[in-house]
Amino acid sequence: MKLQKLLLLNLIVFTNFIYAGGQERYDLSEFISLGMENNFSLQIARNREEISDNNLTRGNAGFFPVVDLSTRQSGTVNSAWQTFPDGSTGSNTGIHNTTTNAGINLGWNLFSGFRVQTNYSRLEELRAQGEMSTRLAIEQFVAQTASEYYNYIQQTRQLNNLLYAVELSQERYRIDEERYLIGSGSRLQMMQSRVFLNADSSRLSRQYEVLRASQIRLNELMGAEEFEVLLGAKDTVIVVNAELDIEELLEKTLAQNANLLLAASNQTISEYDRQIVASRAYPYVNFGTGYGYTFNTYQAGNLDRQQQLGFNYGLTVGINLFDGFNRRRELSNAMIEIENRDLNYRQLLQQVKADLVTIYRAYENNLRLLEMEYENLETARENVEIAFERYRLGALAGIELREVQKSLLEAEERLLSIQYQTKLAEISLLQISGRIMDYI
């Protein structure tokens, strides 16, 4: 009776689980679209891209003049002792003079060795980097979502397999119990069947938790704030794309891989940094002008107060002749940085190619294993049917039946594992080659 209650409880939990998951079910493209709107990491990436976009202005590069409006109030308090040519003397103490200035001033760098133009080009490259970084974040999100989506399918199928294993163990226990009650079987054999049934039921219960954890992870990727209503997958099988070609993938990788494009962009930026340092060797031309008002008060002298209102301008042309060899040092460092960025690109290119080939070989091998495991599973299923029929007729020992059951469960697990590993390889290959958005 306790055993029957346990089985009934498992069935109820499983049914509720499937029902709850069925309330909101999405396919992979719907999961990705939903997550791209709500995922917090992607929102942060887009905000950073917006910052780099905001920074791309001609004013930030230095094309425009700077205009200041200012006012200043100052004063002096002095004491003076004077001796005149005729020998007479005089003194004044606590002389308080004040000056008030107000004006508008414009300063404009007309030429600085093409530094301004280079700054603008650098800002354009930084904006492109911001877009590429957002693309990289989206690709990583799509890969994570696809991996977890198919993991959820794998765990769901494993749950179904374990449920079937429990049903088989329950049928075996029923047979052994009937035999014991009519006196044709032993109590030992019945208790052994019960142990196997309890073990399968325990494993089924643990699988509920594994599946629920995968479901929660999917909700997290979607940016969900509540985890009471969990999302589920519409698909029930893992369909593997067996048509990926290594030459096509390599061609796409060299042209579209986001990490390689970012590394190439860093090379460009390091060259702009060198040009900015080199621009300090050119002459510079600065223009300045202003319009202001000055008001002075005097407590000693011929004037009591004075007001001035006027316009001023100036043009400065200069060249830095010596700066303590700092420019030469900075140029040397800039050249080293260019070399480092080039080495980093080549290293990354080597790593990406190695990853592509390694994952593709695993992908090919898994495709071969899949064919083998499909055959093994069909054989294992036939063996279970034959074994149970023989067991009902009393022509097969209990331990032998258990081995046949285990063989079926292991065959199902191997097939699911290889399917999932093949799908992960497929996802990785598409991500490396810049084609991960094919899942949308």
Write out pLDDT tens, residues 153-164: 999 999 999 998
pLDDT at 52 over 70: yes
Of residues 78 and 151, more confidently modeled:
151
Cβ-contact 348, 266 below 8 angstroms: no
- Alpha carbons 280 and 283: distance in angstroms, whole number: 8
N- to C-terminal Cα separation, the chain: 51
pLDDT at 406 over 70: yes
| Structure-token pair, residue 120 | 């603008």
| Structure-token pair, residue 200 | 């399968």
pLDDT at 400: 86
Cβ-contact 416, 157 below 8 angstroms: yes
Ramachandran angles phi, psi of 431, nearest 5°: -70, -45
- Alpha carbons 63 and 150: distance in angstroms, whole number: 53
Rounded mean pLDDT of 57-72? 93
Q: Specify whether the backbone of 98 is left (phi greater than 0), alpha (psi in -120 to 50) or beta.
A: beta
Rounded mean pLDDT of 67-95? 84
Please give the single-letter amino acid code of residue 17. Answer: F
Q: Could you name the CATH architecture of 2-58+94-439?
A: Up-down Bundle (1.20)
| Secondary structure of the chain as H, E, C letters | CHHHHHHHHHHHHHHHHHHHHHCCEECHHHHHHHHHHHCHHHHHHHHHHHHHHHHCCHHHHCCCCEEEEEEEEEEEEEEEEEECCCCCEEEEEEEEEEEEEEEEEEEEEEECCCHHHHHHHHHHHHHHHHHHHHHHHHHHHHHHHHHHHHHHHHHHHHHHHHHHHHHHHHHHHHHHHHHHHHCCCCHHHHHHHHHHHHHHHHHHHHHHHHHHHHHHHHHHHCCCCCCCCCCEECCCCCCCCCCCCHHHHHHHHHHHCHHHHHHHHHHHHHHHHHHHHHHHHCCEEEEEEEEEEEEEECCCCCCCEEEEEEEEEEEEEECCCCCCCHHHHHHHHHHHHHHHHHHHHHHHHHHHHHHHHHHHHHHHHHHHHHHHHHHHHHHHHHHHHHHHHHHHCCCCCHHHHHHHHHHHHHHHHHHHHHHHHHHHHHHHHHHHCCCHHHHC
pLDDT at 372 over 80: yes
Asked which of 25-39, 138-152, 225-239 is least confident by mean pLDDT, the reply is 225-239
Asked which of 79-93, 203-217, 316-330, 362-376 is least confident by mean pLDDT, the reply is 79-93
For the chain, the average pLDDT equals 89
pLDDT at 21: 45
Tokens 């995968």 map to which residue? 214
pLDDT tens for 169-213 read 888 888 888 888 888 888 888 888 888 889 989 999 999 999 999
pLDDT tens for 6-42 read 555 555 555 555 544 445 788 999 999 999 999 999 9
How many residues are recorded in the chain? 440
Task: Say what the pTM is.
Answer: 0.85
- Alpha carbons 352 and 249: distance in angstroms, whole number: 11
- Alpha carbons 174 and 176: distance in angstroms, whole number: 6
pLDDT > 70 in the chain, percent:
94
- Cβ count within 10 A of residue 50: 12
pLDDT at 357: 97
94 Cβ neighbours under 8 A, 6+ residues apart: 77, 79, 299
Please report, for the chain, the start and end positions of each structural domain, with discontinuous segments joined by +: 2-58+94-439
| Structure-token pair, residue 153 | 């399918």
pLDDT at 289: 94
- Alpha carbons 227 and 37: distance in angstroms, whole number: 18
Asked which of 43-52, 66-75, 318-327, 385-394 is least confident by mean pLDDT, the reply is 385-394
Q: Are strands 25-26 and 232-233 parallel, antiparallel or unpaired?
A: parallel
Q: Identify the CA nearest to 90 among candidates 80, 99, 98, 100.
A: 80
pLDDT at 19: 42
Confidence band of 5 (pLDDT split at 50, 70, 90): low
